[in-house]
A and B are shown apart, each in its own frame.
Chain A
């Protein structure tokens, strides 16, 4: 099988054209991607998008109908999980309740008499790595959620896997612990230099932890890139709306390269993920935090007049719901104001404001 891409340098994990069906439901539809050695890749998507299935296919727990998986240059497509050399951390951790932390970590290591000392050394080393040396003989139920998580991580790393697979590793934890563990896992992965693939539905988790993000929807990868790229240049309205929030202004038209018309006003858009023809109907997308607004006064040519309809206080920021006054039907748009700016403006429902969409922050998508 010659699936290796000859132009790029050999990737550590190569997933090529994976298709998986459950009865009539297609869970994965020709999924391909690569992961470099030592890279932390996060697969992000809503529930049912196929992200857990792709992890299970890579691990060998599910068998694909089509496509191939290569790990470290080895075609493992037909191999059982046991022979793929992967470490898995499950959402539930799946720690064995009747075994201590040390016994859990040692579970996959050779227990024969000759190897006993080496195994014991390895277990100590791993527990120290995750900061649980003192919890060797503690049972999982006596550990906190975060500690259980780390035991599961140590267990997954015990056999020095080629790839570490993390299935929603933080979703079972409290918000506070989750924040702290995000950094810990990332730090551990970087120190060990292990190649990792994490499945999550939490955009913040993906943005903060991953070197690269794959966004999935309906069994296909819809965009991949570094976190900044995914957030700032979403390839389509789905990605834009799933990661962060975005206003879509419908009823615009393309006038020329980078120029659009909305309600008789010119708007400059920086990005066109898919090429658009002049005269085509488009939606303009802008994130709430990018909307510039000022109180009262007359709107300049590139500004829009709007009325404040609702204010939602969110602590560090304030979400303002606005209605564009010159559009039919009325167009709603949301803007996030940092606390300081909100204090200066002191808005109240009913206030008239002027809006501006900064040229570099607008994306244009073909109208649905």
Chain B
């Protein structure tokens, strides 16, 4: 019998093992990197938050007042009324947005309506614009000189002799609620689509075989199946609306909410202590909603059966035409808002000279910074995307794919999820307090602030965006990483291949679609955000989204609309670019993702 002598042959093929024992082993290196992750998140998330909470417990001169600021806040009706306003607006918005979002998502996932791609795309469109844009579009539609308010500039009056003009009393809660519903709609719709997509056709067959009516099936099968998704949508919608700054800034009028209050306290009255206090008041319900949301999501994940039978979408003509009409109305509404903003940015003098021109895109002697601001915004969004993506993906990798060190990984995970509970405004505020402080006093000790140099730089803006959008990106990365075989690391370890090599050669390439997705998310959101950066930008570093707010504030509504339109265009271009990139990647990876299994 021929015995193959492999052992002798191997001398020719040297392996990578057998280096002398090094003090820096794999495990220690991973440990070190995890510690660095915790330190960075500690500096970027935990310290500024501790700082803002500390600030809320001191008065303007820096003297300890305990809960004194909060007492003042709740006993001053002019201040505390905005808390109730915020709660009211957020509740109404959530009810409307979740209801509309549910039926829209239901139509996309459970019925056989045509043009699903179109509807999904239109529903996602609001994500590309700052919330200011919806406020501005609302002004052009329902404002004093708005299209609807004036009955299409008296067109109906002249032509048909009837006056359909309608003044809805835009400025105040009505305006805020409409703008917030548009703003929260895409996110709610996304969450509910995911929840509705996961179902088991057998449950419906069972219900039908037991003779349950359609209504009863809806309440006993459909709703229970998505209840955690529904809860999650409610919390997310509430948080988004509760902490949004853009819409109330533009259409809020005299109606004060918490987000605009913080701005007024800090920028208007330079009352930092009260600003911090309002910030903490804003933080509390958000943190509560965050924990409830985490709880709901964990339950939702447990509901998913491993071998569910997919449910074929309902093709009943009556149902389809109902949902088609519904989706059509929603899409038309959303397009109307976007279209109005586009149109208004092109109209010469609304409503007197309706001829089109690009005058408003010149930003001639406007405040705000013009194209320099747009350029800065693109730069900021680009850096945020590059550094944010790298950091979130690598730290998600360390946390997900390291054996042992459970305590360290839990701390890092918690810190990675914490930014989800932090409103942009609070992050921005915490950052000016933290990075602007020349020194920190710890009892008798005074420490010079090592981060002070970052104040009023591009770096702090990028840092702020990275933290603001950290958690969602981190979750995307974690989900992608969880789909990889958990033994990849063990395999490469057994072959003496260092983990960073496997990360570069296998982990990152396989997860590339998720990486592109994360980068796109960072870019689009950094372009559109106002709340996080409005406290942090400096006069020599203007930003496009802030310029929209400032021009609108100064009454230059048309240039503001033009700037908002430019932001949307940049974002759509980036979205299309990343879509094309994803398509190319998936074509390239089709070679190894293919299902064309041959039989043994």
A residues lining the B interface (CB < 8 Å): 59, 61, 80-88, 90, 92, 94, 96-99, 107-110, 115, 118-119, 121-122, 125, 129, 139-147, 155-160, 177, 191-193
Contacts and interface: CB of A to CB of B under 8 A. Distances in A.
B594 A81 contact: no
Interface in B575-592: 589, 591-592
30 contacts: A59-B490, A80-B26, A82-B494, A82-B495, A83-B18, A88-B494, A90-B490, A98-B506, A98-B509, A98-B510, A98-B592, A99-B592, A107-B491, A107-B492, A109-B14, A119-B13, A139-B591, A139-B592, A139-B594, A141-B594, A141-B597, A143-B598, A144-B597, A144-B598, A144-B599, A155-B491, A158-B495, A159-B10, A159-B17, A193-B3
Given A88-B491, A97-B592, A110 B15 contact: yes
B12 interface: yes
Contacts of A109: 13-16
B305 interface: no
Given A139-B592, A145-B600, A147-B600, A108 B16 contact: yes
Given A107-B495, A144-B597, A160-B10, A80 B485 contact: no
B596 A142 contact: yes
A73 B271 CA distance: 74
Nearest to B498: A82
Given A107-B497, A191-B3, 11 more contacts: A59-B490, A81-B494, A90-B490, A94-B487, A97-B592, A107-B495, A121-B13, A129-B4, A139-B591, A147-B600, A155-B495
Nearest to A61: B490
A81 B598 CA distance: 34
B460 to A, nearest CB: 38
A159 B27 contact: no
Contact of A125 (B9, B16, B487): B9
Contacts of A99: 505-506, 592
Contacts of A140: 592
Contacts of B595: 141
Contacts of A98: 506, 509-510, 589, 592
B75 interface: no
A110 B13 contact: yes
Contacts of A193: 3
A158 B495 CA distance: 9
A90 B13 contact: no
A90 B485 CA distance: 10
Given A83-B17, A121-B12, A192-B4, A96 B494 contact: no
Nearest to A109: B13
A159 B493 CA distance: 12
Contacts of A92: 485, 487
A11 B12 CA distance: 28
A129 B505 CA distance: 26
Interface string B469-504: 000000000000000010110111111110000000
A86 B493 CA distance: 10
The number of chain B residues touching the other chain, given as a range, is 35 or more
7 smallest CB-CB distances across A and B, nearest first, come from A108-B495, A139-B592, A144-B600, A94-B487, A122-B13, A82-B496, A160-B10
B34 to A, nearest CB: 17
Contact of A94 (B26, B403, B488, B593): B488
A88 B490 contact: yes
Contacts of B21: 83
A90 B506 contact: no
A115 B10 CA distance: 12
Nearest to A87: B494
B307 interface: no
Interface string B268-289: 0000000000000000000000
B485 A61 contact: no
B252 to A, nearest CB: 51
Contacts of A108: 15-16, 492, 494-497
Contact of A110 (B16, B485, B491, B505): B16
Contact of A96 (B26, B506, B589): B506
Contacts of B3: 191, 193
Contacts of A88: 490-491, 494
B403 A142 contact: no
Contacts of B78: none
A159 B403 CA distance: 24
Nearest to A80: B25
A80 B497 contact: no
A140 to B, nearest CB: 7
B336 to A, nearest CB: 45
B298 interface: no
B597 A118 contact: no
A192 B488 CA distance: 25
B71 interface: no
A287 to B, nearest CB: 34
B17 A85 contact: yes
